[in-house]
Amino acid sequence: MPMADAELENFDSQEIWVNTNEAAEITGYNNDYVRKLARDNWSLSENERVIRVRLRVERYEMWLPDLLKYKEEVGFGPYLKKTD
């Protein structure tokens, strides 16, 4: 069941870990995109990660403040392909 707008607003200032399903619901990103984002960040060294990620019981969790900052900076796609 989708979260109500009031519930989503409560997340904005919380410093918590969220799983990829929660991250997708909070950000509005597609579940597959959020899982890819978590995997890609997990494969980087900790000091290179844009979003803090941890692996818990074979599932990724993402640090919500980093995720919201990413959403604010990147926004939504799709983006046009770059041409040289």
Give the whole-angstrom CA distance, residue 70 versus residue 57.
Answer: 25
Task: List, for residues 5-39, the tens digit of each pLDDT value.
Answer: 555 566 566 899 999 999 999 999 999 999 999 99
Task: List, for residues 37-67, the tens digit of each pLDDT value.
Answer: 999 999 999 999 999 999 998 899 999 999 9
pTM of the predicted structure, to 2 decimals? 0.75
Task: Report the DSSP pairing between strands 53-56 and 59-63.
Answer: antiparallel
Give the whole-angstrom CA distance, residue 18 versus residue 53.
Answer: 10
3-state secondary structure at position 31: helix
* The pLDDT of residue 43: 96
